Amino acid sequence: MNDPIIAYQGVEGAYSNLACKNAFPRSITIACESFEDAMKLVESGSANLAMIPLENSTAGRVEEIYRLIPKLSLHIVAEHFEPVNHCLLGIKGAKIEDIRYVASHPQALAQCHKNIQKLKLQARAKFDTAGSAQEISEQEDKQFTAIASKLAAKLYNLEILSENFGDMDGNTTRFVVLSKETSIPAFDPQNSYITSLVFEVRDIPAALYKALGGFATNSVNLIKLESYSLGGSLQVSQFHIDIDGHPQQKSLIFALDELQYFAKDIKYLGVYQKHPYRDLHPLIC
């Protein structure tokens, strides 16, 4: 796709903005206030794609996304892994001994929790990392800092007080690329694929065990299994699975056939190639 229009949550300089540029260097990006706003731009045709964070190696899953994706008429067409280097930013002239408060997106605050505690800073959750940087640049108060990217520091003329402020090295966010159009790649044995879907289990004993049993008996690897409650009820759960394979492979055909007996409301979210990052980090498949 040439020069795709990509929607993302945040403002210019956000990590989602960086992910768009790194995955699609010629892209035109649209900043949105919320994840749902970004997704709905794709649904309406105002954007070609949405770049949405799904999970982080330090802070875990972005639960809101698992709930949103099945409700919308969008498809996962790719995944992207973006290294995250959190920086502690202050206004020009600020020093560590001056600061009292730190603002950022809740995920970024969680990923820097130990270092925030070491500096005894009061954390304030905001809707975006780069938006927090923009806000403190306008406050011009040395007591206030933000956790954001180097790009945000440059864009909003801020001082980098700590360049590697995250609690863990190798911090990485997995993004999914969403499209209104279904794009299932033809199976090529030289490539590796992921099939993502959601389902509920039928009201029978050991339903989840039986639903997943077909993957084990057919030697199909499940990369991820997530569950969450539906409709405000603690009795109904929806399950999200990422499967190591393409639905044209015989083993997966048999496994999905068995799934049909014990699951209901199965919705395919997408079939897409594995990102090269996975080859460099085999523990995440």
- Distance, in Å, from the CA atom of 60 to the CA atom of 12, rounded to the nearest integer, reads 24
Q: Which residues pair with 242 in a beta bridge?
A: 196, 224
H-helix segments, 180-246: 207-217
**Domains of the chain by residue range:** 5-83+172-179, 87-162, 193-284
Is 175 among the catalytic positions?
yes
- Residue of 29, 129, 145, 173 marked catalytic: 173
276 Cβ contact list (under 8 Å, min separation 6): none
Nearest to 44 by CA among 10, 17, 5: 5
User: Across all residues in the chain, what is the average pLDDT?
Assistant: 92
49 Cβ contact list (under 8 Å, min separation 6): 1, 4, 5, 6, 7, 24, 27, 42, 77, 177, 178, 179
Architecture of domain 193-284: 2-Layer Sandwich (3.30)
Q: Phi and psi of 158, rounded to 5°? A: -115, 160
CATH 3.40.190.10 correct for 87-162: yes
User: What CATH fold (topology level) applies to the domain 5-83+172-179?
Assistant: D-Maltodextrin-Binding Protein; domain 2 (3.40.190)
- Report pLDDT digits (tens) over 162-197: 999 999 888 899 999 999 998 889 999 999 999 999
- Residue of 144, 175, 215, 262 marked catalytic: 175
- Report pLDDT digits (tens) over 225-284: 998 877 655 566 899 999 999 999 999 999 999 999 999 999 999 999 999 999 887 655
- Report pLDDT digits (tens) over 40-82: 999 999 999 999 999 988 778 888 898 888 888 999 999 999 9
Residue 71, pLDDT score: 87
- What's the token pair of residue 41? 């731009």
Structure-token match 């490539």, residue found: 191
The answer to whether the 5-83+172-179 and 87-162 domains have the same CATH topology is yes
Is 187 among the catalytic positions?
no
**Dihedral angle sign, alpha carbons of residues 248, 254, 255, 256:** positive
